[in-house]
Amino acid sequence: MNIVILAAGMGKRMQSALPKVLHPLAGKPLLSHVIDTARTLSPSALCVVYGHGGEAVPDLLKSSDLEFAKQEPQLGTGHAVMQAVPYLKDTVPTLVLYGDVPLISARTLQRLLDNSGGDKLSILTVELNDPTGYGRIVRECGHIVRIVEQKDASEAERAICEVNSGIMVVPTVLLKKWLATLSNDNAQGEYYLTDIVAQAVADGLPVRSAQPDAVWETLGVNSKSQLADLERIYQRNVADRLLEQGVTLADPNRIDVRGSLTCGRDVTIDVNCVFEGKVQLEDGVSIGANCVIKDAKIARGAVIKPFCHIEEAVIGADSVIGPYARLRPGTELAEDVHIGNFVEVKNSHIAAHSKANHLAYVGDATVGSRVNVGAGTITCNYDGANKHRTVIEDDVFIGSDTQLVAPVTVGKGATLGAGTTLTKDAPAGQLTVSRPKQVSVAGWQRPVKTKK
């Protein structure tokens, strides 16, 4: 089939310079959701009609399988589809979608396509308790004869609760014929795509309908309030799927998945956690409250305590992270590694059973097994121009408030005394200390505040 996605609207009620279809839902643009669903149908042609926002839409979403047609000025849905005509193949039907209706499912669209049979006009309709603002489906003897827009509808027609979602599939040759005869003689002075329904009836073409699995599939976004509503619907759907898979969620209404989240058995997720990109949680992982995790793999039995920020990191089995830890890109932790509160790790490999329990920075480092990194320790990896690597071998003990000025190596089994500033390699198995001589001054008195 051909698929045309209408995405040219301004979205005045969004109160934003960003084109409406580029506003994010679950971490990606509204339009991207529609495009991704369209791709699952394997269309022979996929055309996005854009307009408001200039080239922002094609610049952000350009892809080898997408064609872009510009609608300028915007003169209605029929006029928008006209812009896509050069990209439509006559031998297959055309499915019309909307870039601001992000939750439409492939299952519903396939039902609509099946109803059309490839040679009939088929419309996705939905029953609403309050149909205000929607085009009404007018039937005679049970058959659809036309669609009337809210502003053009009579009082009796406005009482109809079956409405047009805007999504339809049309034989392409007839679509092109009907588009050429559209008129803008209506209350809004626009060319309505819905007017082709009456033309189909006049030409004797059967007009069929299909309904979505859920009303929310057809809901569009015209304001930030509506965007927020759809965000919650999307996230609750994700939460329900996780619950069905056996994931324990402390509160299904307080989780945000902005990408893909894969969970093993007996995974527990506390409230207000955000998952971005591709996140994998293996069996028995526990995620504490208020964590942000992006593009990460967390192995079995790991415990992530509250308020951690993890990005592009791999965490080994049975490790304990946080609270208030930050793992930055390039971090790889082996099994049973402990990273405690206010510890930051970046572009570093830490081997099994090592720990940095508080107030430390480990950057551009290779850390061996059974290493203890004391509180206040930092790897000084940046000289103002270049990054340098620190190597800490197995069984090293690093005292508190130590600075390791890279490039430097701490040999196996070495001990660094508290307060050491290490600028040369520390020999294996030895104690290395670098600190000023301690002095006590007899008779010294602390200054007192002068009375005024």
Distance between CA atoms of residues 260 and 35, nearest Å: 17
Distance between CA atoms of residues 219 and 54, nearest Å: 25
With left for phi above 0 and alpha for psi between -120 and 50, is residue 4 left, alpha or beta? Answer: beta
The burial of 214, by beta-carbon neighbours within 10 Å (0-12 exposed, 13-18 middle, 19 or more buried), is given as middle
CB 34 within 8 A of CB 98: yes
Q: Is the pLDDT of residue 53 over 90?
A: no
Which residue among 52, 309, 358, 388 is the active-site one?
358
Contacts 24+ apart (CB under 8 A), 348-356: 351/394, 352/316
Q: What is the 3-state secondary structure (H, E, C) of 257-289?
A: EEEEEEECCCCEECCCEEEEEEEEECCCCEECC
- Residue 374: band (very low, low, confident or very high) from pLDDT cuts 50, 70, 90: very high
Q: What pLDDT score does 436 carry?
A: 87
Distance between CA atoms of residues 97 and 124, nearest Å: 10
Q: What is the mean pLDDT of residues 170-174?
A: 96
**Rounded to whole angstroms, what are the CA distances from 420 to 335, 348, 381, 411?**
29, 21, 16, 15
Distance between CA atoms of residues 160 and 155, nearest Å: 9
Q: What pLDDT score does 375 carry?
A: 98
* pLDDT tens-place string over residues 111-137: 999 999 889 999 999 999 999 989 999
The model's pTM: 0.91
CB 373 within 8 A of CB 400: no
Q: Is the pLDDT of residue 54 over 80?
A: no
CA atoms within 13 A on the CB side of 384: 0
pLDDT > 90: percent of the chain? 90
* pLDDT tens-place string over residues 272-328: 999 999 999 999 999 999 999 999 999 999 999 999 999 999 999 999 999 999 999
Partner residues linked to 262 by β-bridges: 280
Q: What pLDDT score does 371 carry?
A: 98
The DSSP annotation for 403-452 comes to EEESSEEE-TT-EE-TT-EE-SPBPTTSEE---PPP---TT-----PPP-
Q: Which of 212, 165, 153 is nearest to 193 (CA)?
A: 165
Distance between CA atoms of residues 377 and 174, nearest Å: 73
* Alpha-carbon Rg for the chain in angstroms: 31
Confirm whether 52 is a catalytic residue: no
Q: What pLDDT score does 85 carry?
A: 97
